[in-house]
Amino acid sequence: MRNNSTLKILIFTRDITHNPEKLTIYARITVDKKRAEISLKRYTTAYEWDDNKGRITGNSKRANLLNSYLDEVYLQILEAHKQLLSEGKVITAQAIKARFLGQDDDKYTLKELIDYHNTTQASILKPGTMKNYYSTERYLNKFLRDKKHTTDIFLKQLDYRFIVDFELYLRNYRPLKPRKTCSNNGTMKHLERLMKMVNLAVKLEWLPKDPFKNYKLSFQKNERCYLTERELKLVEDTSFTGKGYEKVKDVFLFSCYTGLSYIDVKELRNDQVVLGIDGHQWIYTKRMKTDEEVKIPLLLKAKKIIEKYRNNKELKITEKLLPVFSNQKINSYLKVIIKTCGIYKNATFHTARHTFATTVTLSNGVPIETVSKLLGHTKLSTTQIYARVLQKKVGEDMQELMEKLKNKNKLERSAAPKSY
């Protein structure tokens, strides 16, 4: 694109302190008689400065260093002008100044991207998901401070090296207060969230290319913890004197027999238990995580738990179905309950959902498509994760096949031989 604008660059001094011993050096950019000035934060004296050359006189080490810096500034201003021309931007003195200082629209920073993402997505993503993004933001801030010795970087500085260094930082991070640190999958989750924010920057044209192009996330497949039929019965048959423990046990078992997650059980109301098309009680709700509609026929054991808390005064006021504590408190109580029952597994409340998928449904012959519907999964492949761990079910199915083949062979041998 041809541009007829005229560019002039002048390096000059100004006495802003009324002290000829300390003149401030400026760069003036003029485009079509419109000016923009930049203080270079360098100083000289009246007797050293040459107005005609716009440089310091003499050959001292200080003079050579300062003149070299002023030459570099001059070249950078020319480069900023050249970049704007090649990009087809409107050429003004202010535009060249902004590009030189890194303050134009093409100089977005990582912090600006994070702020934009969190502001625009806060009303779209679930609070739990946003909480994870805030956690990733905190780790990025620590990484920039500890390893890059800065508080922010330009998006153009995001490259493959930055991603690899951030991954290494997450894996080796040790907080001052002892607590659980990032596992492999936890590290990958932080990088996945950074990748999504970077993809947003590419779509907004804040970044010319995706630095994650050659980077591959490597999640490790972990077996889902669930309770076996024997372990589930152990929990059911154990009673607790403490009201809190008994309530946690009941809510956990309710989840084992409905497949609902913690937040979905917590938000359940009385009016969501309705009569289904078969004349039996069903739960009609929506998954908080995916907004997927879920309809679950109530099993007898789940009904009994609802009846147990039918006349609870506190629940009548809140209109909630069951007494559900905070997730942290429930998991704390649950560890005691599981240990008391003689079960040595690292169980959390989410274990109930896995138990429903494996022990309660798939192990008892419920088709995987039906289980997927009950769990509110949007993809069947998600449900297949639970099916992989059911070695017992695989063994039973193969045993059934063996019996069928054995009977088939017997019939073939007992059949009368054909004559030709």
Kindly report the three-state secondary structure assignment for every residue of the chain. Answer: CCCCCCEEEEEEEECCCCCCCCEEEEEEEEECCEEEEEEEEEEECCCCEECCCCEECCCCHHHHHHHHHHHHHHHHHHHHHHHHHHCCCCCCHHHHHHHHHCCCCCCCEHHHHHHHHHHHHCCCCCHHHHHHHHHHHHHHHHHHHHCCCCCCCEHHHCCHHHHHHHHHHHHHCCCCCCCCCCCHHHHHHHHHHHHHHHHHHHHCCCCCCCCCCCCCCCCCCCCCCCCCHHHHHHHHHCCCCCHHHHHHHHHHHHHHCCCCCHHHHHCCEHHHEEECCCCCEEEEEECCCCCCEEEEECCHHHHHHHHHCCCCHHHHHHCECCCCCCHHHHHHHHHHHHHHCCCCCCCCCHHHHHHHHHHHHHHHCCCHHHHHHHHCCCCHHHHHHHHHCCHHHHHHHHHHHHHHHHHHHHHHHHCCCCCC
pLDDT confidence of residue 379:
84
* Over residues 217-238, mean pLDDT: 89
* Over residues 90-95, mean pLDDT: 88
Per-residue pLDDT band at 225 (split at 50, 70, 90): confident
* Over residues 256-285, mean pLDDT: 91
Residue of higher predicted confidence among 377 and 386: 377
* Over residues 230-249, mean pLDDT: 92
Is the pLDDT assigned to residue 107 strictly greater than 90? no
Is the pLDDT assigned to residue 416 strictly greater than 60? no
Residue of higher predicted confidence among 413 and 166: 166
Is the pLDDT assigned to residue 390 strictly greater than 70? no
pLDDT confidence of residue 276:
84
pLDDT confidence of residue 1:
45
Per-residue pLDDT band at 419 (split at 50, 70, 90): low
Per-residue pLDDT band at 44 (split at 50, 70, 90): very high
Quote the mean pLDDT of the chain: 88
Residue of higher predicted confidence among 388 and 148: 148
